[in-house]
Chain A
Amino acid sequence: MKTNEQLIDLQAYVDGELSDEKRRRVEAALPADIDARELVEGLRRLSGLLRDHEPKAAVPWSREFYWSQIRRRIDADAAGSQATSAPAHAASTASASSALGWLRWLIPALGVATVAVVVSTRSTGPAHREFAVAAGGDDITMADVSSTVFRSESDGVTVHWIQ
């Protein structure tokens, strides 16, 4: 009775997968071991039998139909690859639009900030009036000189300057 290891070594011998040392050992033992010889012979015949009689099968569809199915998949995959790049383009466009959206709000805000800074750093008088007119807004100077209001129609803002 052989151990599993011995049986599997004999199989590896048949398959040509043993190291040189193990192969020599098996070959030395085979002449005196009938069981081993029978197993080796049986494994060789079984392998030969399988390789010589590999089961065959045929595609159950016509040449045209089988190819049409494959062609459809190839075309669908190609279309899919293009579609995956389209959303990426859409995403970048959306991102750009989003940035433009911010700019839409940022530009007037910057305009307001600029006006506010200018207004805050200048005193009332002719220069102030010039700037307000140049900016396209209405400059209203209160007679009591305690309050100045700047309104820009284009920016849609009103600035109150109180002194």
Chain B
Amino acid sequence: MPLSVKHDYPSAADETLVQWAQRGDTEAFEELVHRHRDKIYARALMMMRNDDQALEFSQEAWVKAWQRLVQFQGDSSFATWVTRIVINLCLDQLRRQKRVRTESIEAMDEESGGVERHLPVPESNPTAGLEQDELRRRIDEALGKLTDAHRTVVVLHEFEGLEYKEIAKRVGISIGTVMSRLFYARRRLAFLLQSLKRERSE
């Protein structure tokens, strides 16, 4: 009678868990979910700025990852692959939302940079003296004050490390628009972080 092999899931590398999961091992997949769920959720939350949507899209991303697992060839890390799935889900939702509010001021301003056009260039060290956790929180707050369009290019460029061309392709805009959105988003962020610094010193 053959002995059934019980895998040591917590000790296995991602690559090994992926191989097991590709053969239908749901326990291996559950371990992958456990390891990377916070990162996937955090990315969704950063893009959507909404807890419910972040939970919804992060779960949806895992379901899609399971369904498409055979397509994963290991060209990137597994976490990067799932992150791209959740980003695509968020981008689809943002496009749908944008269609609903095409007449908004935000939509009219996003190409020109709106008020950010008049902001100063980033100063060298806008957040000197802040503690690490406090800094993270302040950066998150500042990101939350950007428009969806501006925040999206910042997330894709700064946190996902995508080049202009790749961002343009994913978001469905020209490279020129990527460059202008990124510039105005950075100016706005620098301005917001400077404001926080001023609040702190007062």
Contacts and interface: CB of A to CB of B under 8 A. Distances in A.
Contact of B154 (A7, A12, A50): A50
Nearest to A63: B34
Contact of A7 (B41, B62, B67, B183): B183
A66 B33 contact: yes
Interface in B143-202: 143, 154, 157-159, 163-164, 179-180, 182-183, 186, 189-190, 193
A22 to B, nearest CB: 13
B59 interface: yes
Interface residues of B, number: 48
A56 interface: yes
Among the interface residues A7, A38, A47, A56, which one has the most CB atoms of the partner chain B within 10 A? Answer: A56
Contact of B38 (A15, A35, A42, A57): A57
B62 to A, nearest CB: 5
Contacts of A99: none
A12 B121 CA distance: 15
Interface string A21-58: 00000000000000100110111011101110111111
25 contacts: A7-B121, A11-B186, A12-B164, A15-B182, A35-B121, A42-B122, A49-B135, A50-B159, A53-B135, A54-B136, A55-B136, A55-B143, A56-B42, A57-B41, A57-B42, A59-B38, A59-B55, A60-B55, A61-B55, A63-B34, A66-B37, A67-B30, A69-B59, A73-B63, A74-B26
Interface of A: 4, 7-8, 11-12, 15, 17, 35, 38-39, 41-43, 45-47, 49-51, 53-61, 63, 66-67, 69-71, 73-74, 77
Interface of B: 26, 30, 33-34, 37-38, 41-42, 45-46, 51, 54-55, 58-60, 62-63, 66-67, 121-127, 132, 135-137, 139-140, 143, 154, 157-159, 163-164, 179-180, 182-183, 186, 189-190, 193
Q: Lowest 7 A-B CB distances belong to which pairs?
A: A42-B122, A55-B140, A57-B42, A50-B158, A59-B41, A39-B121, A73-B63
Given A46-B190, A47-B158, A56-B42, 7 more contacts: A50-B158, A53-B136, A57-B42, A59-B55, A66-B59, A70-B59, A73-B63
